[in-house]
C-alpha cells in the first residue's frame, strides 16, 4: 500500500471507530507499518486540514471529528445478506478484490440494527476456496482495464502452452465462477478472452488502448449473449 492509499485508509479506520479513539499501536498493526510512520501520517493529515486529533489520557489515541462520519445506511436484512454474498464472491483472485475489502469495511461501519446483525451472522457462515490468479497479475489487469491502457501478458492455454500477447482491454467477463479479461489481441488480430488464472505474467504499459466495444468482441463466441448483471444497473451511466 503506498502512502496516499494509506492516508486515505487511516481516515476510514478512524471514521469507522468514531467517536472512539484508536491507538497508534492498533493502526500500525492494521497497516503493517511502524508507529513512527503512523504518527507522521497522522500529523500530515492534520496539516492538510483533516479533522483528526489526539486524545490524551486513559483510553486515548487518535480520533476524527464524529461530524465527518457517514450516517447509517438503511439496508434491510435481506439487502445486507446480499451484499455479504456479493463481497464473498470477490475472493483474493477476483478483479478489484482489495477495493472490495475496503468497501466492505466502509459498509460495515455505517450499518446498524437488524441489517448489521444479518450481515455479521451470514459472514460468520460463509467460506471460500481462494482462486489462483496471482496478485501481481490481478493488479496489472485492474490497472489496464480501469486506465484504458495496453497490457503485455503471458498466457497458458487449456493445454498448458504459454504464449506472449499484447492486448487492448475492453472489459471483464465473469462466468461459471471464473473471471476473464476480454481484449483485442494484437498478436492474433482478433478479440480474445483470457482467463485470469491462466495469465502467468502481466505488465501494464503507459500506452493508451484504442476503444473496443465489449459486446462486439464477444460476438461469435460462447459468451455472445452475456449482459450486464442486473445488480449493476443503478451504476450504469444514463443513456
Highest mean pLDDT among 34-43, 58-67, 88-97: 34-43
d(CA 93, CA 151) in angstroms, rounded, equals 18
* Across 15-29, average pLDDT: 89
Domains with residue ranges and CATH for the chain? 3-68 (1.10.10.10), 77-123 (no CATH), 135-224 (2.30.30)
Task: Report residue 216's pLDDT band, with 50, 70 and 90 as the boundaries.
Answer: very high
Question: 57: which DSSP letter?
Answer: S
Task: Report residue 68's pLDDT band, with 50, 70 and 90 as the boundaries.
Answer: low
H or E element, residue 141: helix 135-147
Among residues 104, 105, 200, 210, the alpha carbon closest in space to that of 150 is found at: 210
Q: Please give the model's pTM, rounded to 2 decimal places.
A: 0.68
52 has pLDDT over 70: yes
Task: At 195, list the grid cell.
Answer: 482467463
Among residues 204, 212, 53, the alpha carbon closest in space to that of 137 is found at: 204
Q: Is 23 helix (H, G, I), strand (E, B) or coil?
A: coil
Sorted by sequence, the CB contacts under 8 Å of residue 119 that are 6+ apart come out as 75, 80, 81, 83, 84, 107, 108, 111
Question: 174: which DSSP letter?
Answer: E
d(CA 78, CA 236) in angstroms, rounded, equals 23
* pLDDT tens digits, 163-203: 999 999 999 999 888 899 999 999 999 999 999 999 999 99
Q: Residue 208: beta bridge partners?
A: 149
Task: For residue 57, report the phi and psi dihedrals to the nearest 5 degrees.
Answer: 90, -175
Torsion of CA 137, 141, 143, 147, to 10 degrees: 160
Higher pLDDT, 64 or 233: 64
Amino acid at each position: 500500500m503506498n502512502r496516499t492509499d494509506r492516508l486515505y485508509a487511516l481516515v476510514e479506520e478512524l471514521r469507522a471507530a468514531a467517536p472512539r479513539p484508536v491507538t497508534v499501536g492498533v493502526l500500525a498493526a492494521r497497516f503493517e507499518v511502524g508507529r513512527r510512520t503512523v504518527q507522521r501520517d497522522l500529523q500530515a493529515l492534520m496539516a492538510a486540514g483533516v479533522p483528526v486529533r489526539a486524545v490524551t489520557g486513559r483510553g486515548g489515541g487518535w480520533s476524527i471529528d464524529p461530524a465527518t462520519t457517514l450516517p447509517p445506511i438503511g439496508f434491510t436484512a435481506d439487502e445486507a445478506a446480499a451484499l455479504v454474498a456479493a463481497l464473498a464472491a470477490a475472493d483474493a483472485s477476483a478483479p478489484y478484490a482489495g477495493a472490495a475489502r475496503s468497501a466492505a469495511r466502509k459498509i460495515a461501519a455505517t450499518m446498524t440494527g437488524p441489517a448489521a446483525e444479518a450481515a455479521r451472522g451470514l459472514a460468520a457462515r460463509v467460506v471460500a476456496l481462494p482462486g489462483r490468479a496471482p496478485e501481481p497479475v490481478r493488479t496489472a489487469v485492474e490497472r489496464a482495464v480501469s486506465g484504458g491502457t495496453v497490457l503485455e501478458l503471458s498466457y497458458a492455454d487449456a493445454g498448458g502452452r504459454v504464449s506472449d500477447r499484447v492486448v487492448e482491454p475492453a472489459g471483464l467477463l465473469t462466468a461459471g465462477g471464473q473471471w476473464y479479461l476480454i481484449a483485442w489481441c494484437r498478436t492474433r488480430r482478433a478479440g480474445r478472452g483470457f482467463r485470469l488464472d491462466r495469465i502467468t505474467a502481466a505488465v501494464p504499459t503507459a500506452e493508451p488502448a484504442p476503444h473496443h466495444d465489449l459486446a462486439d468482441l464477444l460476438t461469435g463466441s460462447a459468451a455472445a449473449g452475456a449482459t450486464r448483471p442486473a445488480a449493476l444497473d443503478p451504476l450504469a451511466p444514463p443513456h
